[in-house]
């Protein structure tokens, strides 16, 4: 996976928003965790283009697996998701639950995402 190491407020995070990398399967989650280890940062910024349609389809289990894996490895993930993106009601409920944890947040702008990641 190609990524960029960026800094906000003196804190480094891994930015995949401009990359063509996608989370298509559970193995891709391991690749992201490897990036964290390589860059010595547990902070990730993703965009909706980095997520396959399976991520948004709760029956696939990919979003749940991501939530569990990142929580287990104490990674923090901010996902940029446009406010007009169409999501199922069940996925919106999952987004709400994910945002209550300290591992995941969804944002519609980069600055808010960077602030949450780095505080």
pLDDT tens for the 119 residues of the chain, in order: 667 899 999 999 999 999 989 999 999 999 999 999 999 999 999 999 999 999 999 999 999 999 899 999 999 999 999 877 778 888 888 888 888 888 899 999 999 999 999 99
Beta-bridge partner residues of 45? 15, 78
Report the number of distinct structural domains present in the chain: 1
**Residues in CB range of 94: below 8 A, 6 or more apart:** 58, 63, 64
67-93 per-residue burial string, b: 16 or more CB within 10 A, e: under 16 = bebbbeeebbbbbbbeeeeeeeeebee
CA distance 42 to 78: 11
> 44, 75 in Cβ contact below 8 A?
yes
**Structural domain containing residue 30:** 4-117
Q: What is the CATH number of the domain that holds 38?
A: 3.40.50
What pLDDT does residue 1 have?
A: 61
């Amino acid at each position: 996976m190609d990524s960029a190491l960026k800094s906000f407020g003196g804190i480094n995070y891994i930015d995949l928003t401009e990359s063509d990398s996608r989370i298509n399967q559970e193995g891709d989650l391991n690749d992201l965790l490897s990036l964290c280890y390589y860059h010595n940062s547990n902070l990730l910024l993703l965009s909706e283009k980095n997520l396959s349609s399976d991520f948004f389809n709760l029956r696939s289990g990919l979003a749940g697996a991501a939530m569990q894996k990142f929580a287990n490895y104490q990674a923090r993930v901010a996902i940029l998701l446009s406010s007009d993106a169409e999501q199922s009601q069940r996925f919106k409920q999952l987004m709400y639950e994910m945002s209550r944890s300290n591992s995941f947040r969804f944002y519609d702008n980069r600055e808010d995402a960077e602030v949450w990641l780095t505080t």
